[in-house]
Each structure stands twice: as structure tokens, then as C-alpha cells.
Structure 1
């Protein structure tokens, strides 16, 4: 097995190797997670995989289900759903719909996302699945698909229920998926500052939208057992960060803790591209091929989120059986790339042949074999 240690440039190493552990950070939130959106790297977590009541942050999943129907063409913004008595009677935050009214999906989404309307959420759920309970089953199917830990939805609103739960990590993964899968809907609704329905003007409950710090979503939540929570996302210079906090005692607590975690993530970490898609990482020796070497390339763009104050302690190693016998087909996996750094999860990436290398003819194989025995590898 041939293992090659790749030395990246000192300029690159200065910003890629890991140094400070995220455990040094503290938060007053009962549950919290900080995630880099671009790479999915968890930068900080506190009780992030434990079950918690999500309150109205549940509505992120309700929106995800609706957005998926819209994207697939099973639903349109102009479709109308009828307001049931159950929806009209629901307490908590409201869009203030009236029983029997027919309301477009577009307006219901604004009522749910901007105004956090429990009534709007129920109207959407009943319109899609016939009942809120049936809609919760759909939500759980999506939660399993998105790998949301400790999650079970019982309703579309986040109304208190002993069996209604998710986790901070689950909400972060959900937020990331929503932004990735439905960027147009995300941009359209989650940064909307106000919405008026039934002559009642209400402002978006996400306080970070007004703080000029790059925040453009997502959702607040509060119940007496959940405490104050906020799932937020901010974008700066092409990089996006997602934070989830929950279990705080005051609305100002969720606002300030979220803002502090966002600033910390942008300040302390950077995203660094190590290799571009299709870039040659190493030249591997070929046995009895029409050429002596074959480029080993990555089939994906490799970006890692690493601390900004890093030193040159990262190692990048290529491993493969050498020499590689011909014939070799372009795209054939030939090697692995391992990236290691302190306090960073080790990543192993497959490397494939960058081009096809035919086998030599009979005479060529004899000559090459003799040269290898006499002179060794080229």
C-alpha cells in the first residue's frame, strides 16, 4: 500500500488546520447548535441531540412539506383551502382567519411564517392531508428522511404535547435542507418583515431580521415548557451559518444568544477549498500501461470548515496499491484521500482515475516488465 503525504502550501495551512476546540464556548441556552451551512459541519453543540419541545419552530417542517408540494407541482400558490372551526378556534399566535373563508396557499404561508399563525398552520395541514393528525404523519416521514434525531411530530403548530419533540440538531438539519431544497421560497417568505391580514398588521417575530447582521430567517418559538427558542440563519460573503437555541427565559435571551453565536461562527471559522472538483491530487504509478502514471482526481469540490487561527497541523494523505495495473478506466476508484486535523472530524474521500490508460501490447508488456525489474518504478 502506497501512502503519500501531501504538503499543501503554507498560505493554505495557515487557515485550514484545526486549533481551538468549540467546547471553549458557553451559552445560556438549554439546547443549542451552531452549524456551517455550506459544509454541514457542527461548530458547537449543547444537548443538541436530546429531545426538546420545539414550540413554533415546528412550523419550519410544516413549511418544508408545503414547499415540497409546490416544487413538485402538486400544489400551487393560488390554490385555496377552507378554514375549519378547529383552525379558527386555535389559541396562541394567530393570522386571524375566519371560519369558512377560502384562503390561498400564498397567504396562508405568510400567515404561518411571518405571523406564526397557528390557525394558518392548521388550515395548511388540513388542506394537504385532511386532518392535522394525518399531516403530522407526513412530517415524521420527512423528519426520518432528513435524519432529525429525537424527533416525533404530533401537530403542525408546535402546540404543547408530551409526545411532540425534536432536537436542536434536528432543527439545524431541517433548516439547512429547507434553504438548499427551496431557495426561492426561502428568500421569498422568511425575510418578509410584515404581513397584514383581516386588516391586522403583524411584524415578523424574528428579531434578528432587523439587526443588519445578514440574518434572513428562520423561526422563533415559545411555550412555557419549551422556553424561548430561535432557529436562525445568516449569510455573509458567500458563507452561511445556522444556529438553534432553545430553553431561554426571555425573548431577549434568544435574540442575544443567537446573535452572539452567529458572530462567533463567522469570526472563529473559515471555509477553505482544499481541492476543486476534478482536480488532480496525485500522480499514481501504472504497471504495464500505455503511460507510466495516471492522475488521481476528486469527483467533488472539497471544502472544509476549520478554525481561523489554525497552525500547520493538518495532514492530507493519499493511499493506494502501487503500481496500479493497466488497463484503467477514467472514473475508476483507485485511491483514498484522508484529511486529518486536531479537533476536526477526519474525512476520507475516494479518488478516481482522471483518464483512461490502456494496457500495453504483448511486446510492450515484456519490455516494460524488464525495465521495471532492472530500473524499478519510473
Structure 2
């Protein structure tokens, strides 16, 4: 079989804007829209693959267009030498940011197109399926404009009724608020649920330690980003806090994760496929985590293309160090905030089925884009 070539690549910025009172977010601030930059890649055989980059910045779209010029006519080889060459040549810019996200979106689209060309799911290309079902945790409990505690509690009750066995909530608003929100989550979700606490790096190391000291009684499954991602000495100061630490959503490429993993600064690494450099880089990061026996749980907060890529990635991650008896699930982050880019862009969005998210059997990423929804959400419309 002849490997197809890339015929054209298009950047498509999409956005779902909120009314002012519907904004939500984290201790760092509220978001007033969900946004992404999609990549539509078409091969010379007419096969279309989709990718996604974090956010809908015009800078990301411009970078995708620039990269597309150099890839026209190239062989469809996801995570091939083109990506390594790009990172090496552009080393002034390739440690993070829009450049890496743009390249990663094209990489995801290549994997999707190759899977569709061969008629196999992407997880087969990534090494083979290791699981048919993924255990999701609900990413919810967001910061809102008024932070009404009653609505916060009502949202947790809905998630418990839906059957989630793990829920992540936002903290970092102050010590008393942290305790109140964690206590409510534990009371509503019960003693067996995994309660994951996300500070979004809004504290200094001493503040994070003070909060964690008061949160241990609620047995958190992990504390996510207690300090900012680049505060490596702060991470080291928190290693003895007695609670698992997680981070990685704002870290780029295997090189950004190398010391985080090798120095065991965290217990759970969380690359985001729409930021870290695509599926190929995320797979390498998963291998690094396995090598150092560190847990792996991707950050998933984008649209349905990034979500589908994360599902394919997790479907191919091997079990380690255990074989048959895992102490905890390999978690899939299942964002429950309002997001039309996640719920409307695919003809069949990922939903909870008997407490699990099923790995699709279809070729490529296993989703089909709803063209009507795409037209409605495109920024250029």
C-alpha cells in the first residue's frame, strides 16, 4: 500500500460564548467562552482527519497555516521526523505555547487520517487496545461569579446521581473556602468516592501546605497544581505533604515532563494532547511515566476532538505495575462544564454508560464531526 500524502490543511477556530452570569472557571479566573482551533487535514486520497489545539487564538491559526505550507505533499506520517525536525529547528519557540499546540493539532489530525485510511482506530496504531471501557471522573465544582455554595452542592448531587465514582472540584480561593468545599464534596459523594482537588496553581508553596494540612481529613485522591507549574522548588517542598500531587496541563513536550517525572516531583502526570505536542508526544510522556512508575491521567478540557484523542490514548496505555488488580482506575477526565465544542461538534458525543465511557471501534479517532454544528460554532462565521 502506498502511504498517502497530505493535500491540504485548514485551521478552523471555534468558540462557544457564554452570557456574563454563566461564566465559570477556577481560582485563577473565570472563562467567558469555550474555544479551540481545529485542524482539518485532507489527504490526496480524499480522507479527512481532525485535530485540535488549545484555545482559538488567531496566533495558533496563523501558525497552523504556516506549518501547512511546509507539509503540503508530505507523506502522512504522524509524529514522524517532521515533528522532531520542527522542534529542533525552532528550538527558540518549541518549549511551549502556541507553536507546540499548533504542531500537536496537526499531529492529531495525521493520526486520525491514518487510522481512517487503514480502517482502524487510533489506539491500534498507538500500540493496541488494552481496555474497552474507561473510568471517568467528573471535572466540575467550578468557581462561578457568585460562588453560591448551594448551587455548588446541588451540582455535586447531580454528579452522584449520574453514577460518577470520582469528582474533581476547584479550590484555591482561601483556606476556609477550601475546607468548606471539600467537606461538602465528601459529605455528598460518600466515603468511597475519589475526591480530586484542583488549586490551579493559585497558591505559594507555604499557602498550599497550610491548605493541604486542613484537607487531609477528607482523603483527597490527589491535589492538582497546588503551586504553579514552573515552581519546581515549590513542588519539592510539598513532596512530604502526605497527599498525592498531580500536574501537567500547562507543561509541553516530553522535555517539559522529563524532570517532573524523573525527579518524582508529582505522583500523577497530566499532559493535555491539545497542548503538549499531540498524540505522539503524549504517548512518549505515558512511556516515561511507566518507566518511572508514576501514574498517568491526561488533562482533558477541550472540545470533542481533543477528548476523542485522549480516549484513544488511554485505550492504548498498558496496565502497570499491576496486571489484574489495580489499586485505582486509569482515570479519564470528563469535563461537565457547559461546552458546545464537546457536546455538539460530534454526531455522537462521549457519554456515561453504566458508569464508564466506552472506547469507540470506528476508524481514526472514532468520531464524526457534525458539519452543521461546525458552521454554527466557527469564529469566521
Q: TM-score per shorter chain, which class?
A: under 0.3
Structure possessing the higher radius of gyration over alpha carbons:
1
In the superposition, the TM-score normalised over structure 2's length comes to 0.22
Higher helix proportion, which one?
A: 2
TM-score using structure 1 length: 0.22
Identify the structure with the greater strand proportion: 1
